[in-house]
A and B are shown apart, each in its own frame.
Chain A
Amino acid sequence: MAAEGKTIDALSQFELSPVLGIFGNAVSFSQSNLFMVIAVAIAYFLMKVTADRGELVPGRLQALGEASYGFIAGMVRDQVGDEGKKYFPFVFSIFMFVLLGNLLGMLPYAFTFTSHIMVTLTLAIVVFVVVTGVALAIHGMHFFTYFFPEGAPKWLAPIIIPVEIISYFSRVVSLSVRLFANMVAGHVMLKVFATFVVLLGGLGAVGPFVAAMPLAVNVVLVGFEFLVAFLQAYVFAILTSIYLHDAVHLH
């Protein structure tokens, strides 16, 4: 994988290949799907442990589950308001899925499924459809006044309405591209500097000393990537709840 033939091959880490032998080949079950299943399983068991035990003094797992629950519940309450409580399960599922996808990608030999635009685009489309559905269910036809701000001159409508509609649709693109680009950029950087370590390490006597520099960079980058993994999941969730706020309250 790394540094074959003394070249830097930073993108092969994103290639999909079937796993689980014959079964995986038959239905094209790739490692991306495998890690999605693992992420969902981890989220499920974390919540199950948290809810089952319910001890007064929480253990480590229970504290983790309660902290993540409280974090997102507080965020939804702050952003959407009290009527946003019923959307909490949706935001929480999205957040846990993205967060676990980003964090699982930090493990060696793991695959980061959030580094594929198709995955993040699908997540963003789900958010978009749910938010639009909520807005239509609450406001009915009144929802379409969202595209024409009150008090704007009528003759500007042919310009304002298309611009607002494009701006509304651009949420899908910006939501998905932000997550995707952050994950790809981070993992490419990690791979490039890791390849430098290998290439420079083979330079004879001085090699190991020179190779210490990209190694140090990589140590910093790994820490930075954990920050990005959390931050991007947070941004995805907070934008989802801001959009939900717009859908619930219109303007």
Chain B
Amino acid sequence: MNERSDFEDRLRQARTRQGLDKRPEGRGSLPPGPWGIGLRAGVEVVSALVVGIGLGYALDRWLGTWPWLFLVFFVLGSASGVLNVYRLFNPRKTPRAN
């Protein structure tokens, strides 16, 4: 029994090495280390805020409702900034084909 499971282990390792089996984790191979993660999270928050503020400002200019939509979209932008950072660490669960 022991010998058999050992063989299975080695077979799996060999198959993975040859690229026959997909590696279990393909995602999240972004720059490692605290600086990489920190900078990425910062960029995600700021970019969501920029989009939210820009959208709110543009809609206000169009509809003449300054500053109400701006305020609403500012809050929504901050929320999606938090969502982006959450996604960074917990990607969407995807039924990957493996």
Contacts and interface: CB of A to CB of B under 8 A. Distances in A.
B24 to A, nearest CB: 11
Interface SS of B by simple majority: helix
Interface stretch (B3-11, B48-56, B60-68): B48-56
A57 B40 CA distance: 41
Contacts of A178: 39-40, 43
B92 A167 contact: no
A166 B77 contact: yes
B31 A166 contact: no
B83 A163 contact: yes
A167 B80 contact: yes
B37 interface: no
Contact of B94 (A169, A172, A238, A249): A249
10 contacts: A78-B26, A79-B27, A163-B80, A166-B55, A166-B73, A166-B77, A170-B48, A173-B46, A242-B27, A251-B94
Contacts of A167: 48, 80, 83-84, 87
Contacts of B81: 170
B14 to A, nearest CB: 18
Contacts, number: 78
Given A78-B26, A79-B26, A162 B76 contact: yes
B48 A249 contact: no
> In which size bucket is the chain B interface?
20 to 34
Query: In which size bucket is the chain A interface?
Result: 20 to 34
A245 interface: yes
B31 A235 contact: yes
A246 interface: yes
Nearest to A83: B97
